[in-house]
Chains A and B, each alone.
Chain A
Amino acid sequence: MADREPVIGIDLGTTNSVVATVQGGTPTVIRGRSGSNLLPSVVALAKSGKLLVGQIAKRQAITNPTDTVYASKRLLGRKFSAGQTQDAMKVLPYQVVSGEHDDIKVKLGPTDYSLPEVSAMVLKELKLDAEAFFGKPVKKAVITVPAYFNDGQRQATKDAGRIAGLDVLRIINEPTAAALAYGFGKAVNGKIAVFDLGGGTFDVSVLEVGTGVFDVIGTGGDTYLGGEDFDNRIIEWLVFDFVKEHGIDLRKDRMALQRLKDGAEKAKIELSGSKETQLNLPFISTPVGGGSALHLQKTLTREKLEELCGDLGARCVTICEQVLSDARVKVGDLKEMILVGGMTRMPKIQELVKAYFRRDPCKGVHPDEVVALGAAVQADALTTEDSEVVLLDVTPQSLGVAIAGGYVRRLIPRNTTVPTSVTEVFTTSKDLQSTVKIMVLQGESEVAHQNELLGEFILTGLRQSKRGDIEVDVTFEINSEGIVSVAARDKETGQQQSIQVTASGGLTESELKTILEDQADMMLEARTGEELGKRKAELSALAKEVQELIPQLQKATSGSEFGQDAVAKANKALEVAKRTVDAANLGKVNESIDTLTKTITLFKGVLQRIS
């Protein structure tokens, strides 16, 4: 036993990171060399040119705002041009630049670092802590990510581990890890919920636990909902009043922004314990035309904070509802509920959770450490002969292929236990089509370009025939490591093409849309009648609605040129719709649905304005 290679579990958090291991059958947090269990996920370049990580980096943040990187996890695995990145950049004091492939880099002094490199610095620090603890090299680790991270973000986390010199055994979901830590070595039987509101992300998972089996039955979340958002609400409130009074937007000044951030976070934490707190930021700015320095001094009450962040809490509850209904679990069926993440210390959040789940959260789980402990449990389970623990994890987001008309056909729905594989038959969507393009998408939107493109490939050499004649088998597979592979096979010739999805292609939504439009000739068609039937029914209902609206519109616009034009267009759309209902082409039906939906919105808008 003693000579077993040490394995660790790492919670790579937005604000803090933790490393743990299982020692003598007990999960334990490894205390850092600085004496603390938590390592701030902060990296900085000191004026001396030295790279700083953790507490020491956090401490100098105020005096060195532009060269201090925090909350980098919110950018990890994302694209520079994504809307969320652009939003995040507005409130970040450090410099974020675009890499060659629309990836994100951060500037530390003269050097641009990729996000995995930044995370790797934090991981390396934890690795060193663990090595100091064991007194020997540590390589093997399980790292956690928010359940709602997509494939690209997971890959980026894995890359970070590799850069830090770790052999990443597995990437597991944070709420799952929390459940593992909670249920490890206990005779727990039943369904439990994990509510994880951390620094940057919100996750909720429902698990069924029994005799060492941890079966995730539902998971959901939001990768842009966490403590940082609560801080930002406070910052906005502070800045807004300051602008009104002095006409200065403090966010434009990086030094001021860093101080605001610091103050907001402290105020938020204090308000978990007290009813009101003072925000005192002297010499925060100087007036434009010169004059004496300006100070910021304000009182923030718990009530005000709750008012500022009311919608954030409500969003959490909505997601909980969705996850429970997806998992077909009623609140009353839950045996236990676990709170994870620093933000769950906020009284308002506790109140919301208690009201929704109708029970007190589980005591005796440390919200900051439980995730790392769970990661350690999984690392131990994977490397121990005849381990007591089996984790049945799920894929958090749906996977599918793009089909004609710019839609998605889902092959693996979210919350499917992995490993899994699904094969479905598709057909060509155009006459004489000899090539099909398989575009692998991840996400919940019905519209292809609103999903994440994981990869794409082409199957050529199909016999030229009428559309719908040629059948192609498409197989999606997720193995136990969570790696997605997709294969397409021409049923006639047996010819086959496949890819292993590795990293996201780095496309923006609009780029993806353009590609989908340009390559419409190469799209697949879903062969399943059920989808077509559903869509046709939808189309018929819409057509009926338009038909009913036409006389109303005619009356309202009383023969004006605009009215006549609109009615003529609507009639034409109806005709097209009628023809498509008779034809069996999903793409065309979807197009028609689009046109009619637009017509209805237009009509309703006009009617509303006139009456």
Chain B
Amino acid sequence: MAEENIDIDPDRQREIEALEAKMGTTNHYDFLGVPAGASTDEIRTAFHAMSKKFHPDRFFGKNIGTFKGRLDKVFKRIVEANQTLTDPERLKAYLEAHPFVRAAIRANASSTVAEVAAKTADEASRDAERRARLARHPYLAKSGKVQEMMARARAHIAKGEYSHAFTQVNLAAQFDATNLEVKTMLVDVRKKNEEMRSADDFKRGKEALDRGEDDLAIAAFKSASNNNPKNAEAAYKAAVLLDRKHNDPKEASTYAQKAVEAVPTNAEYRILLGRLLESAGMKALAKKHYEEALRLDPEHPDVKKYAKRRWPF
């Protein structure tokens, strides 16, 4: 993807682009990244978190190129989603116009995907029998096929093979794009799959590091972090290596930031981010992170070092 040379960091650019792409296709809950039927509190929290990232004021007076219009568009949708979902009357009208969303809420309320997978063997076999019977009906051939894929996916899930499960559910979704069960499962499995891949990448990264292949390790850690933003250790390791190898504080700080975001209470992450920000010239921000680190772990040797140093602020 071509990045514009503007005052928005590349990751944020990508996030904005991803949201823009999602605008036409997802419902309000998905757009805010909350489960269908989420409570007002959950919606508000998500809305505030997104506002902090995407409110046009965050980029006030900056050169943001084509992102000006796109940001406006994305943020307006965020506002619309929040206002629709938190106003009982508007929510009612919205659900009437979008029966799928209503169905998704019901599905979330009654049985989550996990529960489906945990059905007793007895029930599962009876289900299978019923589905097989239904599948023989010509009208339901399509649905039968989808159910077959879903059954395979469930089997994979049971064995912990999420990448295979993902392939199956993804295929099922292409067959029947409106099937709610498939859609909800797809979301879950994708997430799980990414987490697994993240763990794999992380392992690969560590092995590469042991062998001394730093470039490979960087790629692996970056991928691990991108696959699972919660994988703080991967982000941290990527940042350390990027800093050491390429002397590129900007990219390194992006990953350090991710590590801090994933685990805000880790002093080590904060120190790294602080140092990287400082060398990138963002002193005020750096100071904030140093101070936070100092608060988190006053006994940390590096923290002490920074505390003693007379900051050039």
Which residues of A does B touch, CB under 8 Å? 1, 169, 208, 210-213, 215, 328, 381-387, 390-392, 416-421, 479-480
Contact = CB atoms under 8 A, between A and B. Distances in A.
B72 A479 contact: yes
Contact of A390 (B58, B61, B87, B285): B58
Closest 4 CB pairs of A and B: A480-B56, A213-B48, A382-B60, A417-B79
B128 interface: no
Contacts of A1: 283-284, 313
29 contacts: A1-B313, A169-B60, A210-B44, A210-B45, A210-B48, A211-B48, A211-B52, A213-B51, A382-B61, A383-B60, A385-B282, A385-B284, A385-B285, A386-B285, A387-B58, A390-B52, A390-B55, A390-B57, A391-B57, A392-B51, A392-B55, A417-B79, A419-B56, A419-B75, A420-B76, A421-B76, A479-B72, A480-B56, A480-B75
Given A1-B313, A419-B76, A421-B76, A390 B283 contact: no
Given A419-B72, A419-B75, A420-B76, A480 B57 contact: yes
Contacts of B45: 210
Contacts of B168: none
B77 to A, nearest CB: 10
Contacts of A391: 57
Given A382-B57, A390-B51, A419-B79, A480 B285 contact: no
A420 B83 CA distance: 11
Interface in B278-301: 282-285
B55 to A, nearest CB: 5
Contacts of B51: 213, 215, 390, 392
Contacts of B52: 211-213, 390
B interface residue count range (under 10 / 10 to 19 / 20 to 34 / 35 or more): 20 to 34
A391 to B, nearest CB: 7
Nearest to A382: B60
Interface string B220-252: 000000000000000000000000000000000
Contacts of A384: 284
Nearest to A481: B56
A208 B44 contact: yes
A418 B75 CA distance: 9
Nearest to A478: B76
Nearest to A422: B80
A213 B58 CA distance: 12
Nearest to A383: B61
Given A208-B44, A385-B285, A416 B83 contact: yes
Nearest to B7: A385
B82 interface: yes
B274 to A, nearest CB: 13
A213 B50 CA distance: 10
Given A211-B52, A213-B48, A381 B57 contact: yes
Contacts of A382: 57, 60-61
A421 B82 CA distance: 14
A215 B88 CA distance: 19
Per DSSP, chain B at the interface is helix
Contacts of B285: 385-386
Nearest to B52: A390
Most chain B CB within 10 A, of A210, A417, A479, is at A417
B284 A215 contact: no
B34 to A, nearest CB: 16
Nearest to B48: A213
B206 to A, nearest CB: 32
A383 B62 CA distance: 9
Contacts of B48: 208, 210-211, 213, 215
Contacts of B47: 215
B72 to A, nearest CB: 6
Contacts of A383: 60-61
Most chain A CB within 10 A, of B44, B282, B283, is at B44
Interface string B87-114: 1100000000000000000000000000
A611 B71 CA distance: 67
Contacts of B76: 419-421
A387 B285 CA distance: 9
A303 B91 CA distance: 49
Contacts of A420: 76, 79-80
A107 to B, nearest CB: 40
Given A211-B48, A416-B83, A480 B72 contact: yes
Nearest to A140: B61
A392 B80 CA distance: 13
B240 to A, nearest CB: 23
A380 B75 CA distance: 22
Contacts of A208: 44, 48
A385 B62 CA distance: 10
Nearest to A208: B44
Contacts of A385: 282, 284-285
A54 to B, nearest CB: 31
B289 to A, nearest CB: 11
A385 B281 CA distance: 12
Contacts of B282: 385-386
B111 to A, nearest CB: 31
A529 to B, nearest CB: 12
A382 B72 CA distance: 16
Contacts of B88: 328
Nearest to A25: B284
Given A213-B48, A419-B56, A480-B56, 19 more contacts: A1-B283, A169-B60, A208-B44, A210-B45, A213-B51, A215-B48, A328-B87, A328-B88, A382-B57, A383-B60, A385-B284, A386-B285, A390-B55, A418-B79, A419-B75, A421-B76, A480-B55, A480-B72, A480-B75
Nearest to B47: A215
Nearest to B78: A417
Nearest to A416: B83
Contacts of A392: 51, 55
Contacts of A212: 52
A199 B283 CA distance: 43
Contacts of B80: 420
A1 B287 CA distance: 13
Nearest to A385: B282
Interface string B254-296: 0000000000000000000000000000111100000000000
A402 to B, nearest CB: 24
Contacts of B44: 208, 210, 215
A420 B61 CA distance: 20
B236 to A, nearest CB: 20
Nearest to A480: B56
Interface string B116-130: 000000000000000
Contacts of B55: 390, 392, 480
B175 to A, nearest CB: 34
Interface string B35-77: 0000000001101100110011110110000000000100110
A387 B282 CA distance: 12
Contacts of A381: 57
Contacts of B79: 416-420
Most chain A CB within 10 A, of B52, B56, B285, is at B52
B56 A417 contact: no
B57 A417 contact: no
Nearest to B93: A530
A417 B51 CA distance: 11
A301 B187 CA distance: 70
Contacts of B284: 1, 384-385
Nearest to A415: B83
Nearest to B62: A385
A390 B56 CA distance: 10
B272 to A, nearest CB: 17
A390 B44 CA distance: 14
A169 B57 CA distance: 11
A479 B58 CA distance: 14
Most chain B CB within 10 A, of A169, A387, A390, is at A390
B20 to A, nearest CB: 15
A211 to B, nearest CB: 7
